[in-house]
Structure 1
Amino acid sequence: MPRFAANLSMLYPEHAFLDRFEAAARDGFQAVEYLFPYDFDAKELAARLQAHGLQQVLFNAPPGKWDEGERGLACLPGREQEFREGIVRALQYAETLNCPRVHVMAGLVPKDADRSALRPTYIDNLRWAAREAAKQGVNLLLEPINTRDIPGFFLNRQDEAHQLLSEISALNVQVQMDLYHCQIIEGDVAMKIRQYLPTGRVGHFQIAGVPMRNEPDLGELNFDYLFSVIDEVSAACGWDGWVGCEYRPARGAQPGGTSAGLGWMRKAPATGAGT
């Protein structure tokens, strides 16, 4: 089975954020991801990782004014300086947390803007960010996101993301392939795994049940089959990344709700959560 990382922004909502590290380790996770670390001191987060034997495998660069609805700055002309400052901050956290991947959210297409006119800004920003990230061995990830969850998001499809990689032309920029978003926008998920994973340009997977974004065994996707596809293709191409569990537990913030919903993972071989 693939290696699973707990997304602490969504899992274990009954706990305060800093207590979710212990909860994830207790359930057998060996790695974590989350949206943003910036409300906490990086050294405190690193201490939690060390105390519970966890790896930090992913977090997001600053997205702009998140509470006001912004979802990234990379495609927005006129915000380049703010974008660069955010990347510098993200890389500082990545160094302290020993995190090898940072997701750079593309941003929303402004009302009445021409999407194609934003492309040069997006590419220039990612080229600059890639050079900075390469100095400390960090990979940057681009994630296509569905337009139902985030209407107006700049990047939606796997083929668009891989075309952008060709134009950015930096080996440390990869795609974050979220199978939940992929199913909603495109479908044909297994064939897209077979198409893109062998390219070496997929840096990370994320999963959730479709359509409600609950546990992966709830919904229209057969994740047992998709995990077998990832295993098969990984064995052939040497991919050894992580699969982030970015879903909302169906039991919500009920005490023990996340743990009770992990049956899909517990039925996997003993190596399923980590090694």
Structure 2
Amino acid sequence: MLRFTANLSLLFTELPLPERFQAAKQCGFDAVEIQFPYSLPVEQIGDLLAQQDLKLVLFNVDADTLLQGGEGLAAVPEKREQFKVAVGQTLAYAERLKPRVINVLPGRCFDPQRLGEYQTTFCENLAYAAAAFAELGIKTVFEAVNSYDMPGFIVDTGDKMLDVLEQIGHPNVYMQYDIYHMSRMGEDCAGFLRQHTDRIEHIQFADSPGRGQPGTGAVDFKTLFDIIANSDYKGWVGSEYRPTADTAASLAWLKTYAVK
């Protein structure tokens, strides 16, 4: 069974963020996710979700300047205290919005000589976040991001995600698997999903290489969605692509793959 979310940070961007909730519902989504919800007061988001009878499945801990070309937050040794403050902000939103999972973005390291230090910092910060979110019954995820779009990203393959899981050994930490990013890296997404859905708590997708909706690139979504649907995966599948036209016109795939 496949349950899809609309990522409101990439979909329906022709509308202001508060209006995207209703648009998602009208297009057939029962759940949404937001990369960084902090531009809206938590009370407003809660009201918008309730008005549309939507679940908020996922959002991210703040990542500082990552999306503007910076290193991010979770792995930078000099930003440990700032990361703890960001986790506190996330907790305040999570208490009200009750997401299923919260994502911690590893970030980048621009100095190869410090990579080991950054990796250690990330694992320590990830464990700190996981312990905090576990108190609310919320699972913590992290994801690999392709190194073409984000050079220097410290976790950029499925194997590196598995390495982090082994190193951290925390019962509340899981993978977020992004089909777009791993396809962009040339990985065998089908093989990885067949092997590791038990360690994945959230999946996202876009076609590759352009990051558009299914059908605009080379990803075999029928095979991948069949693998997910026939696995023991219990999470949601996040539509995190950039529509090549207006969002509603990009949703032909939803009628094909969605299972209520």
TM-score range relative to shorter protein: over 0.9
Q: What secondary structure, in the 3-state scheme, does the structure 2 residue paired with 1:32 have? A: strand
Query: 1:12: which partner in 2?
Result: 12
- TM-score of the superposed pair, with normalisation by structure 1: 0.90
Task: Tell whether the 8 Å contact from 1:104 to 1:141 is kept in structure 2 after alignment.
Answer: yes
Deviations 1:113-147 (A, max 9, x none): 33123222111111111111111111111100001
What's the counterpart of residue 244 of structure 1?
238
Q: Secondary structure at the match of 1:267?
A: helix
Gaps of 5+ in 2: none
Residue equivalent to 2:218: 220
Aligned pairs for 1:36-47 (under 5 A) are: 36-47=36-47
Name the CA distance, whole Å, in 1 between partners of 2:70 and 2:14.
26
Q: Distance in 2 between matches of 1:43 and 1:4?
A: 24
Distance in 1 between the 2:19 and 2:100 partners?
Answer: 23
The offset of 1:233, in angstroms, is 1.7
Give deviations 1:21-66, integer Å, cap 9, x for gaps. Answer: 0000001100001110111100100110110010000011010135
Aligned twin of 1:173: 173
- 1:262 to 2:260 alignment: no
- Determine the structure 2 residue equivalent to 1:57: 57
Q: Deviation digits for residues 191-231 of structure 1, max 9, x if unmatched?
A: 1100111xx21010001011110001221011012111111
Larger deviation, residues 127-136 vs 69-78: 69-78
- Whether the 8 Å contact between 1:71 and 1:105 is mirrored in structure 2 is no
Residue type of the partner of 2:247? Answer: T
Secondary structure (helix, strand or coil) at the match of 1:203 reads: strand
- The number of aligned residues is 260
1: distance between equivalents of 2:211 and 2:165?
A: 28
Tell me, in whole angstroms, the C-alpha distance in 1 between the residues paired with 2:117 and 2:251: 44
RMSD of aligned Cα (Å): 1.4
Contact 2:201 2:234 in 1 (8 A): no
TM-score normalised by the chain length of structure 2: 0.95
- 8 Å CA contact retained: 2:77, 2:117: no
